[in-house]
Amino acid sequence: MSTSTPSPVLRATGLSAGYGGADVVHGIDLELVTGGAPVGVVGASGSGKSTIVRALAGVVKPTRGHVTWSGRPVSKVGLRDKKRFRAQVRRVAQEGLGDIDPRSTVDRVLAGALTDARRAGVANGATVAELLDHVALEPRFATRVLGTMSGGEKQRVVLAAAIATRPSALLLDEPLTAVDPSMRGEVVRRLAETTAADGTAVLLVSHDLELVERLCPQVHVLAGGTFVASGSLSRVLSDSEHPAVRELAEAAPLAVQRFR
Ligand X SMILES: Nc1ncnc2c1ncn2[C@@H]1O[C@H](COP(=O)(O)OP(=O)(O)OP(=O)(O)O)[C@@H](O)[C@H]1O
Task: Catalog residues that contact ligand X under the rule CB under 6 A.
Answer: 19, 24, 43, 45-51
Q: Please state the closest distance from residue 87 (CB atom) to ligand X, in A.
A: 25
Give the shortest CB-97-to-ligand X separation in angstroms.
18
Q: Min. distance of Cβ 137 from ligand X in angstroms? A: 25
19 or 98: CB nearest ligand X = 19
CB of 47 or CB of 155, closer to ligand X: 47
The amino acid at 48: G
Cβ-based nearer residue to ligand X, 47 or 195: 47
Q: Closest separation between CB of residue 109 and ligand X, Å?
A: 25
> Smallest distance from the beta carbon of 163 to ligand X, in angstroms?
23
CA distance from start to end of the chain: 41
CA 179/CA 184 separation, integer angstroms: 6
Please state the closest distance from residue 205 (CB atom) to ligand X, in A. 7
Based on CB atoms, which residue is closest to ligand X, 224 or 231? 224
Cβ nearer to ligand X, comparing 21 with 78 = 21
Alpha-carbon distances of 129 from 58, 139, 166, 243, rounded to whole Å: 31, 6, 16, 46
Distance CA 156, CA 103 (A): 17
Given the complex with ligand X, which of 128 and 256 has the nearer CB atom? Answer: 256
Give me the phi and psi of 65, to 5 degrees please: 70, -165
